Homo-oligomer: A and B are copies of this chain.
């Protein structure tokens, strides 16, 4: 019995290294294959909704979707088996997504209409963000995350201000504009305000009265102007980090062993302060 157990244990450990690890070649390969299959599965679900494509390749699509579903199910079971804390994985965000990504196909056996729910698989794309932990991107994304984190407080205040403005402008436009122009209710007016303020401008609802158009013009200029605020906030954070990075990363300062003065000039052979020779053999 013990031998079987230990064999199972070895299998479990190896699976764990392949599925969860990224340090071994097999682990990295598994990640790549998984990402490829997720992309393929999302592509298939996408194409299935295109009538003309589905009509032609319906059977192939069904076959591949079943293949992917079985692969995902196996992966899900292996993930539970191989991890040391199966409950934690099952209840985690990714654990839940991994499960519900497989369910719609099984459900569709009993309830044919539910297969469309497999679009939920698109959420597995979030796993792709793991790539951002790849060394090549790490420094870049850390830099960006930090800048965005630092901007969060100000952005919150800004969005708060925009939302209240949106409600007030929406209410005013509802009174000013007739229902015929599309401003059928205040929520609809607020929707129009957001469409206009963000300069999206679908044009499905647009003011028809002179006063409404005048107010709309003000909203547009407001929206055109306040885009400067989030941009300003984020840019200032990026600029700060860039400058700091500059100092920390690029310039390896040389310390004069005689007087202690620091210099950033890499070509410097002599200390600018005391004139002694520098040891510059880094």
Within 8 A of B (CB), among A178-227: 184-188, 190-191, 194-204, 206, 210, 213-214, 216-217, 220-221, 223-225, 227
| Complex Cα–Cα for A199 and B140 (A) | 26
| Complex Cα–Cα for A128 and B241 (A) | 33
| A234 contacts partner chain B, Cβ-Cβ < 8 Å | yes
| Complex Cα–Cα for A240 and B191 (A) | 35
Contact of A132 among B157, B224, B265 (CB under 8 A): B157
Within 8 A of B (CB), among A37-52: 42, 45-47, 49-51
Contact with B along A226-241 (1 / 0, CB 8 A): 0111111111111111
Contact B186 A119 (CB under 8 A): yes
Q: Known contacts A141-B157, A202-B203: does B235 contact A246 (CB below 8 Å)? A: no
- Interface size classification for chain A: 35 or more
Contact B265 A272 (CB under 8 A): yes
Contact of A154 among B144, B194, B235 (CB under 8 A): B144
| A270 contacts partner chain B, Cβ-Cβ < 8 Å | yes
Contact of A137 among B122, B157, B171, B225 (CB under 8 A): B157
Contact with B along A257-282 (1 / 0, CB 8 A): 00000010101111111111110000
Contact B265 A270 (CB under 8 A): no
| A164 contacts partner chain B, Cβ-Cβ < 8 Å | yes
| A147 contacts partner chain B, Cβ-Cβ < 8 Å | yes
| A63 contacts partner chain B, Cβ-Cβ < 8 Å | no
| A123 contacts partner chain B, Cβ-Cβ < 8 Å | yes
Residue of B nearest to A46 (CB): B186
Contact with B along A81-108 (1 / 0, CB 8 A): 0000000000000000000000000000
Contact B271 A270 (CB under 8 A): yes
Please indicate the chain B residues that have their CB under 8 angstroms from the CB of A137 in the complex.
153, 156-157
Contact A234 B234 (CB under 8 A): no
| Complex Cα–Cα for A230 and B144 (A) | 10
Q: Known contacts A167-B125, A185-B46, A232-B231: does B272 contact A225 (CB below 8 Å)? A: no
Contact A140 B157 (CB under 8 A): yes
